[in-house]
Amino acid sequence: MTDEIIDLTNCDREPIHIPSLIQPHGILLVLQDPTLEILQVSSNTQEVVGRQPDELLGKPLSDLLDAKHIQLIQQCLAEDFESVNPLNLSIKSLNKLIYFDGIVHHLDTIIILELEPKKAKDKTGFFDFYQQVRGTITCIQKAATLLKMCQIVVTEVRRITGFDRVMVYRFDQEGAGSVIAEDTNQKTPYLDLHYPASDIPKQARQLYTLNWLRLIPDASYQPVTLIPANNPLTNQPLDLSLSVLRSVSPLHLEYLQNMGVTASMSISLMHEQKLWGLIACHHSSPKYISYNIRTICEFIGQVMSVELANKEASEDIDYKSQLKSLQTQFVEGLSQAEYFLDGMVQLKSQLLNLVSATGAVICSGDQYIQVGKTPSESEVQALLDWIKPQLHHNLFETRSLTKNYPAAESFKAIASGVLVLEISRVHHNYIIWFRPEVIQTVNWGGNPNKPVEVLSNGSLRMSPRKSFELWQETMQGCALPWKPCEVEAVAELRSLVVGIVLRQADKLALMNFELQRSNEELDSFAYVASHDLKEPLRGIHNYANFLMEDYAEVLNNDGVAKLQTLVRLTQRMEDLINSLLYFSRLGRAELIRQPVNLNQLVQQVITTLTITRPQSEVEFRILQPFKSVQCDRAQIIELFTNLISNAIKYNDKPQKWVEIGFIEGNGETKVASTSVTFYVRDNGIGIPEKHLDKIFQIFRRLHGRDDFGGGTGVGLTIARKIVERHGGRIWVESTPTLGSTFYFTLSAEANT
């Protein structure tokens, strides 16, 4: 329970939007829509308008305002309240008119009307408004840099309002803030001081995005209650998020008092719909700013917010130009590369320069290519697993990895800053950039750590900081922050890479289309070969036999020999055509995988070869039982048949032997250690090393046409095709005159 109480996020959970209290410099009325019946009032109506709260509750608003003002409020109900506020209203009290700025806004089925008394000098018309802001707006637009614009704004806002101190307070990515511009008459400057994120809780930041300006005329005010405390329609506290009089958190008031600030005003600065910073105004004594002057200041803040994008775009212009040049090199390099990984590897130096990193890792599938100084591959794998759920729009960035990933402590010297780009989660394509730790001194406005107070009843309470004197801290585990332009360059890089991949996919699709068309043409050729070619070939073969049978007595020995040669040639040509047809169909035939007992299969092959080659005496050696595999039975029978028959055929030893077996994995780096490698070994004639790469080529024979029983030279080509279709590879090791060993694998997942 104690840990929960002292958790810094307690401040983040304070319900500051429903305090049921307002500041005393005005009154608040809650009205029923559309009758304008008064449902709630602030308890200070007697002091401000001379009417007790009980006199107003349940009454129509017309009891307080005249018909002209009621009509004015009703007219604005159908309009955008921001464009009509403030309303010029007046109420008669004690025989005198009191003038008010009326601020109206809708909340579900009710209307909230806030009335702030006007002073005589508060009558600012459009011309006065224009005169106040036109010079300021021109200077803001002409400012050459972001910091110069900020300095112009603080100077002008202080001139218009008269605050003792006006600052521009900018948030970083972690939520901490720093003063980047200041205009003050105070002795102690706050310029360049940093403030922790906990100084402005999350729900306060949310309210800053809803309500662009917040005024506290006197931090020592006594809050005014609402009567009744809850909204009568919902019986819940009234949501005062958009109220200009909403009472401020007691913790914030204590914070201001600890700073020596009595009055304050803040203006939100928005960029890309996010809270970029604040124009913060402080005064050492009570100070009320009229609604009209506040409107001028809010307008300046809105113009500055619009200009933020322009000024940030002009910052680091030379660096951004360099990034664009590097992006162009990426596009050119990746466009010329056949594969994503190859292109990235060739662009190693540009990859680091793109975001001023000292290390990078390119991840593609199971491959990790390291560039520069990086953590180990296992550390990168674990880090990437941690980052994946936290990717936002395919990106992740941090300048202090150890803050949320303690495992990074061991490599923070080289990788405190991390920027990750996800190119494809499906294909596991990522790029990770690293920056080293940079130990630096940070100037804080007081100790940034909130103290915990033990109250008299023993409970714990988070207390605002009491000192805002310069407090220095040595920061460790942090890298230089990633600039927005660098993050933007990385995001654009993904679009470029995806575009290149898509173009390569289109090219591959076109190649596939051409390949499909080529296969169709091959099918047409197969049809022609099997019908149009074989038919006349049989005719030639038959007529040659007819000639020998019918005219053998007429022909001399030389003529008969030529006819016999013609018959042999037609037979060989038919064998070649049949082999070509079989090979072309083999690549397109569907694999029928099923569990196959290799012990039975190999024995069947040996039995068949023994019957077909009765003249060959061969010793078959099987040293161990085979494992069962998932495969196409018919094709694996043909694979073993081709390899074993070749081992028998190409053997001139008086005592021939063929060994068939397998080993668990092998020394070849291209074969996974978990795979099973099968082999067929013989003591035959062997193969010269210079021919080892040629023997798998179709129709390639290393001997004479009729040597070793002849053949078409397609057996090993078919064997390789069968192995590759099963997800494996085949190779040979051989020593001339001593014998050969043919190794092959099937896909690891097929083994059982």
Structural tokens at position 194:
């940093």
548 or 122, higher pLDDT: 548
- What is the mean pLDDT of the segment spanning 723-741? 87
Q: What percent of the chain has pLDDT over 70?
A: 78
CB distance 105 to 244 below 8 Å: no
pLDDT in tens, 372-403: 999 999 999 999 999 999 999 889 999 899 98
Using CA atoms, how far residue 217 sits from 41, 99, 119, 240, 399, in Å, is 21, 19, 15, 18, 39
pLDDT for the residue 415:
92
- What is the mean pLDDT of the segment spanning 190-194? 86
CB distance 408 to 416 below 8 Å: yes
pLDDT band of residue 668 (cuts 50, 70, 90) is very low
d(CA 402, CA 478): 8
pLDDT in tens, 341-382: 666 666 777 788 888 899 999 888 788 888 899 999 999 999
Q: Is the pLDDT of residue 120 over 70?
A: no
The residue written with tokens 């290799």 in the block is: 598
Q: Is the pLDDT of residue 588 over 90?
A: no
pLDDT band of residue 525 (cuts 50, 70, 90) is low
Q: Is the pLDDT of residue 670 over 70?
A: no
pLDDT for the residue 300:
93
CB distance 478 to 440 below 8 Å: yes
- What is the mean pLDDT of the segment spanning 323-336? 72
DSSP structure string for 217-248: S-TTPPPEEEESSEETTTTEE---TT-SSBPP
pLDDT band of residue 591 (cuts 50, 70, 90) is confident
| Entry pTM | 0.59
250 or 525, higher pLDDT: 250
pLDDT in tens, 48-95: 999 999 999 999 999 999 989 888 888 777 666 566 778 889 988 777
d(CA 230, CA 257): 30
Mean per-residue pLDDT of the chain:
80
pLDDT for the residue 590:
73
pLDDT in tens, 453-465: 545 555 544 555 5
Sequence-distant (≥ 6) Cβ neighbours of residue 215 within 8 angstroms: 244, 264, 265, 288, 289, 294
pLDDT in tens, 1-59: 333 333 444 555 667 778 899 999 999 999 998 899 999 999 999 999 999 999 999 99
210 or 575, higher pLDDT: 210
pLDDT in tens, 146-175: 999 999 999 999 999 999 999 999 998 778
pLDDT for the residue 5:
38
Q: Is the pLDDT of residue 542 over 50?
A: yes
User: Where do the domains of the chain lie, and which CATH numbers do they carry?
Assistant: 20-122 (3.30.450.20), 317-355+482-588 (no CATH), 357-440 (3.30.450.270), 590-750 (3.30.565.10)
pLDDT for the residue 401:
93
pLDDT band of residue 669 (cuts 50, 70, 90) is very low
